[in-house]
Chain A
Amino acid sequence: AQTVTQSQPEMSVQEAETVTLSCTYDTSESDYYLFWYKQPPSRQMILVIRQEAYKQQNATENRFSVNFQKAAKSFSLKISDSQLGDAAMYFCAYQSSTGTASKLTFGTGTRLQVTL
């Protein structure tokens, strides 16, 4: 079974600064997907970024980028120019690409605070 580990329960960043959230995972599969989801106080789950394991290039979405190290099974999220609206819980998630069931395995989450 796959596992996802987020070792930072809480992080804090000043507005306009950069912060990196860590995520490691364990799998025996060679092809899979990795995600970062944001959950604000409203508890909606919002997709931030997605990485396909067969792609070496790190995914980017505006101020959000990842550092995907497949051999190390590491998938960190970098948030640049942090904004107050970035404050939320961030979950790293793994999804197998094999089979028809595409269930997600989540990490325990990192609560990000953004200060003025």
Chain B
Amino acid sequence: GAVVSQHPSRVICKSGTSVKIECRSLDFQATTMFWYRQFPKKSLMLMATSNEGSKATYEQGVEKDKFLINHASLTLSTLTVTSAHPEDSSFYICSANRDSNQPQHFGDGTRLSIL
């Protein structure tokens, strides 16, 4: 069964609104979670590393104020797309692992569509 749960699976909203995506580790504690973005027919690009109890580490070119990450507990990280625009439409997917020597488990992803 799934060990990482991501919610919602699909979001359609108007331009200018903010959208929150949740990523939960179901049966293990994750001090670190990862957020990826995937454009159609493209690979996964790491956006940021979510660190429990501290600030997220963003990859070069990713706007911190646009993509807010909060990792308030050992089982939950959230990604908030603020003031969303059509160009933010994409597939967002999170991952986590039990420890750094274990493979990543991925959520099922969130398809975000901004009208």
Contact = CB atoms under 8 A, between A and B. Distances in A.
Interface of A: 33, 35, 42-45, 47, 50, 91, 95, 97, 99-109
Interface of B: 31-32, 34, 38, 42-46, 49, 57, 91, 93, 95, 97, 100-101, 103-106, 108-109, 111
Contacts, number: 56
A106 to B, nearest CB: 5
A50 B100 CA distance: 14
Q: A91, A99, A103, A105 — which one has the most chain B CB atoms within 10 A of its CB?
A: A103
Given A45-B93, A97-B101, A103-B49, A91 B43 contact: yes
Contacts of B106: 44-45
Given A43-B91, A50-B103, A103 B108 contact: no
A47 B34 contact: no
B95 A100 contact: no
Contact of A109 (B34, B43, B103): B43
B30 to A, nearest CB: 11
Nearest to A45: B106
B21 to A, nearest CB: 14
Contacts of A109: 42-43
A103 B34 contact: yes
A104 B46 contact: yes
A45 B91 CA distance: 12
Given A50-B103, A97-B101, A102-B101, 20 more contacts: A33-B103, A35-B103, A42-B108, A43-B108, A43-B109, A45-B95, A47-B103, A47-B105, A95-B104, A99-B100, A101-B32, A101-B49, A102-B104, A103-B46, A103-B49, A104-B34, A105-B46, A106-B44, A108-B43, A109-B42
